[in-house]
Structure 1
Amino acid sequence: MAMVASEIERLVKEAFPDAHVVIADLAGDGDHYAARITSEAFKGKSRVQQHQMVYAALQGNMGGALHALALETIVPK
């Protein structure tokens, strides 16, 4: 079963309440998304750590309901 963009956004905002989240469905199939997430929580973390934080926020849906997610994580200025 595919995952809707609003569910991805909900899970991310639940983990990072200050986050600004922009989700794009890349293939129109609900399985391939791009996400731009801006949050203070990423400050001082490496890009790998930031992405791991997002994957953790998705609560095991990566590789299951969510097949592919191109991530861009940003620390606000």
Structure 2
Amino acid sequence: MDPARIQAMIENGLPGARVEVSGADGVHFEATVVASQFAGKLPLARHRLVYATLGEQMGGAIHALALKTLTPEEAGNRE
């Protein structure tokens, strides 16, 4: 598994999301996902939305995924 493929899977599952994925070893990854779908959701619910886009790859080809999930408004406040 490579970061570009994970990014594409998340972007396909969360239309309009801005996604950045890194991970050099092919099994451990970090992702920042900015999506309007996160509005009003707690962190666990946001993470579940992202995990759902990856399906059976989680725990398989993707051993670990560290997530930072933000709404566009939250991301704007950090910039």
TM-score (norm 2): 0.88
Structure 2 residue runs of 5 or longer lacking an equivalent are 74-79
Provide the residue aligned with 1:6 in structure 2: 4
State the identity %: 38
Give deviations 1:15-69, integer Å, cap 9, x for gaps.
Answer: 11111111111xx211011000000011011100000010011011111000010
Tell me the CA shift for residue 6 of structure 1.
1.1
Select which of 60, 69, 75 maps to 2:71: 75
Select which of 15, 21, 29 maps to 1:17: 15
Structure 1 residue runs of 5 or longer lacking an equivalent are none
Q: Which amino acid aligns with 2:71?
A: V
What does 1:24-35 correspond to in 2, within 5 Å? 24-25=22-23, 28-35=24-31
Tell me the CA shift for residue 11 of structure 1.
0.7
Return structure 1 stretches of 4+ with deviation > 3 angstroms.
none
